[in-house]
Chains A and B, each alone.
Chain A
Amino acid sequence: MYEVIVLGATFAAAGIAETYGKDCLVIEQRMDAGYEFFCAHFDSGPEVYPYLQKADVRFGSHIVSVEKTQVGFVCTTHGVEGFCTFEAKRIIDTRVTPQMCESKAFPILIASEEPPAFAGVSCKRIGETNHYIVSIPVSLSSGYPEARTAALDVVKQFSQTQKLIYSADQFDYRVKDGYPKEENGILYLPSKAFVSPGRAFQAGKEAAR
């Protein structure tokens, strides 16, 4: 039995992993980590991984259910070995669900010779480069196809000197106030509730204490 199972290989998870080490299991649906900030800033690179390396991690594992038991929790996942179950005393969920959010955006990274301007869309320059993050607001109920349709509308307004470099493969969520919070014994600590990867990491460390 693990001391803690952390849902989502986020920066908050990295903070928890650093504290608990191998007593912690991080479960992640994707094959990468720290994506919640990467998709928003396109700059937080591989620094999250060394911390996660201290814990046990299962990438490519979808969460099927989390159930309370007399001594803790049983988490059922589905991944490369099919259904698997893991037990832990605590569960910390660092993921974001649309219900937790007040808004979301679909960020794209573009190269632009001039400061870009598109109606209703925020553009942020990365350092002194000609790279800009263009954050396209989408409704909370939108899926990826709708978000990409909205992004495509922006892309089609590009001048000759603008190019799309990379589009996010995650939404950039703005989490409502009130997190972290505990419900039914599970600590909800959405990494993206914090302003930066560093803050999320610290929050993970604090939650682990």
Chain B
Amino acid sequence: MTYLSEIRNGKQILQEVAALTFEKTYDVIVCGLGTAGSNAALFSAENGLSVLGVETLTCAGGNHTLGGVVGYYFGCPGGRYEEMDKTVFDFAKRYTSTTAESRKFLMEQALVEKGVGLLYEATVCGVYLEENTVIGLRVLQNGHLTDYGAKVVMDCTAEAYVAAMAGCETVCGRSSDGQMQPYTLVSLVYDGEKYRFTNVDFGRVDQYDSKALSEAVLFCRSYHVQEEHAGTTLISQMPMMGFREGRRIVAEQPVKLDDVFAGCQTGTPMFYSYADLDKHGWDIAFDGEGLGDWAIGANLGAYNVTVAVPYKAILPKGFDGLLVPCRALGVDRDVSSCVRMNLDMKKAAEAAAQWATLAVTQNKSLNDVSYAALAQALKESGCLKESDDRGFRIDGTVNWDGTPLTPKQVQWLTDPAELESHLKTETPGIAIWSVRYMGEKAVPALLKLLISPDENTKKHAAFALAMLGRNEGAEILRETAAARDGLMLKDCRKNNTLRGCMAIYWLGRLADRTIVPELTHLICDENENQKPVYSNGALTTRYKVAGFDGVYFQFLSQAVMALVRIGDVHRDLQAEIAQAFTVAFASDGYYDRITKRPRQSSEGNMALTIKTVALAAIEKWAL
């Protein structure tokens, strides 16, 4: 039976199709010729497949061209994209101010030369399926609908549009409030010497709600960003919106951050992803516990992780004929902030092209293609290298204080006797996290360190014990929270956490009842932001944005999230906590204390999120 699947007013509609004639059938149709899609189309065509590309914009390259995102954020170099990159960089040196411009021209030229059919200003509005196999697409261009058949469809829209239309299961947003990462408006500016792209972050938006999306476009494009453009001439706001996160498919073989931390990685990788878990926004309090333990609880947010990405992470669960080699691939939310970088996308594109080629040339379904043949091709090109499996690393060029950073491998501690020497420093993160791997054998040493006269040692030992779910250090955590300990730990080159916030985080994770009055005071007191910690400029490097009290924001957001966690566990405290939330968020006082910026700005949106999370908890507790 053949079906046409469409989305109408946000809902999937499936209709049986009696007779179906395709205008033309291709080996591969790529929807979305962006960072991944343009490469997937090119490599497929180079492999001898017939390819059609459907793109809503007027050129290829997506984020890498019309999005103004030209750089590579970490990643593991190697693979077929390198040839195009070399051509692009050489051309840019001589003829263009940015590589985005070179790529616009050269990528398209290569696609045309390889015979890829290009449909610009076009979109997919229907998916043809035989049971759960995608066999074609309905394409809309200039008001005309045309049906095309395909042996393999690649959804490279970054948003899983085609997959969602086909009925594949998708997920998006974080569990606390459903929100995605803040979006960004990228502009091309001239600073008198260079032409460069600048990013201005805005709030979080549901880009699948057309009204919210449109309001966000209007707001960010009209927002007067004087500070950000100071001393520069605006050449152009980029036509693409900078959405950093979107819908993701539930894949045949999903990637989970917990597995990465536990060292249980796939045996069928298509490439290795390598970056930090870059959440981008500062309201990391609401990003969940998997990431929270790492980034807040151990202050390792900017450490790089290596993720082996299985080839079946681009195959939607239960489907065939469809691959999703783009940002919408099947990774969980916590790890999605790493596995989305430009290099990852090009590698996913290469894997998809090879996979499709094997399926088409061997006349097999995608599910039946052997991993060995795919891996061989990916190894030959350098896309997949075992040496890319680099574990956890400190990487980058500059430390938090501006001094040069020497990249190095992270060695987790295995001997409890080593803990003290690390915990007494202002870089205790590796020791705190190592305790996760040591388990109970670390406990005797940590209990001894709790009574150390050294402040760092005992506080960090309390964090480490909390990592194991143990509350022997709770009193120290409470004191640290009550003192609003503003020491910024220094494990990371960026995004370091304040120790008082870490203590509050762990008290929430331990569901500590005793801290409730202190946290209630923190969120309700109108003079809280007058305390010394909030004006200690030396501590606030991370949070320095004009019109935004980032330190107060951190304490307030952590306190609210801790109270939510405590209330979730202790039902008898829910009414008291709900009452505190009602008082704290009765007026906009909390907002004004955090920021003077508009509500749709990044800072304004983060401030509002605190209230949203608090009110959602009251609703959840049915109070």
Contact = CB atoms under 8 A, between A and B. Distances in A.
A63 B123 CA distance: 11
Contacts of B239: 30-32, 35, 169
Given A32-B239, A81-B210, A83-B7, A165 B59 contact: no
Contacts of A32: 217, 221, 237, 239
B377 interface: no
B143 A65 contact: yes
Contacts of A78: 123, 125, 140
A197 to B, nearest CB: 15
Contacts of A158: 94-95
A169 B140 contact: no
A155 B95 CA distance: 7
B97 A111 contact: yes
Question: Which secondary structure dominates where chain B touches chain A?
Answer: mixed
Contact of B222 (A42, A50, A60, A64): A50
B188 A166 contact: yes
Given A29-B121, A84-B210, A169-B59, A164 B8 contact: no
Given A83-B8, A165-B195, A165-B235, A58 B214 contact: yes
Given A80-B210, A80-B213, A166 B143 contact: no
Contacts of B236: 38, 42, 166
Interface in A54-100: 56-65, 78-84
The residue in A38, A62, A82, A143 that gathers the most chain B C-beta atoms within 10 A of its C-beta is A82
B222 A53 contact: yes
Interface stretch (A116-124, A145-153, A174-182, A198-206): A145-153
Contacts of B105: 148, 151-152, 155, 167
B514 to A, nearest CB: 47
Contacts of A45: 234, 237
A60 B96 contact: no
A6 interface: no
A155 B195 CA distance: 17
A5 interface: no
Contacts of A80: 207-210, 213
Give the most central of A33, A42, A164: most B CB within 10 Å: A164
A50 B218 CA distance: 8
- Chain A contact residues: helix, strand, loop or mixed: mixed
Given A31-B217, A62-B140, A81-B210, A46 B9 contact: no
A156 interface: yes
B240 interface: yes
Nearest to B161: A80
A164 B101 contact: yes
A52 B221 CA distance: 11
B66 A169 contact: yes
A207 B380 CA distance: 63
Contact of A109 (B94, B215, B218, B235): B235
Contacts of A165: 96-98, 101, 188, 190, 195, 235
A103 interface: no
A59 B213 contact: yes
A79 B210 contact: yes
Contacts of B14: none
Contacts of A53: 218-219, 222
A36 B112 CA distance: 26
Given A59-B213, A60-B210, A80-B208, A148 B108 contact: yes
Contacts of B390: none
Contact of B123 (A35, A62, A111): A62
Contacts of B213: 59-60, 80
B258 to A, nearest CB: 31
A35 B66 CA distance: 14
Which of B140, B190, B213 has the most chain A CB atoms closer than 10 A to its own CB?
A: B213
B58 interface: yes
A47 to B, nearest CB: 8
A153 B290 CA distance: 53
Contacts of B188: 165-166
A145 to B, nearest CB: 5
Contacts of B143: 63-65
B165 interface: yes
Most chain B beta-carbon neighbours within 10 Å: one of A61, A84, A144, A152 = A144
Interface in B108-134: 108-109, 112, 118, 120-121, 123, 125
A156 B95 contact: yes
A134 B596 CA distance: 43
A81 B10 contact: yes
Q: Give the one of A33, A149, A167 with max B CB within 10 A.
A: A167
Nearest to B106: A152
B287 interface: no
A33 B109 contact: no
B104 interface: yes
B430 interface: no
Nearest to A29: B121
A83 B125 CA distance: 8
B468 interface: no
Q: Which of A31, A149, A155, A163: most chain B CB closer than 10 A?
A: A31
A63 B144 CA distance: 10
Nearest to B104: A167
B221 A164 contact: no
Interface string B222-252: 1000000000001111011100000000000
Interface in B4-27: 6-11
A31 B179 CA distance: 21
10 contacts: A29-B121, A58-B214, A60-B210, A79-B210, A81-B10, A143-B118, A148-B108, A155-B95, A156-B95, A169-B57
Given A83-B7, A164-B97, A167-B101, 19 more contacts: A29-B56, A32-B221, A57-B218, A61-B210, A80-B209, A82-B9, A82-B10, A83-B6, A84-B8, A148-B108, A151-B105, A152-B105, A155-B96, A155-B105, A158-B94, A164-B101, A165-B235, A167-B105, A169-B239
Interface of B: 6-11, 56-59, 66, 94-98, 101, 104-105, 108-109, 112, 118, 120-121, 123, 125, 140, 143, 145, 165, 188, 190, 195, 207-211, 213-215, 217-219, 221-222, 234-237, 239-241
Interface of A: 29-33, 35, 38, 42, 45-46, 49-50, 52-53, 56-65, 78-84, 109, 111, 143-145, 148-149, 151-152, 155-156, 158, 163-167, 169-170
Return the 9 tightest CB-CB contacts between A and B, nearest first.
A82-B7, A49-B222, A81-B10, A164-B96, A83-B8, A57-B214, A59-B214, A78-B125, A169-B58
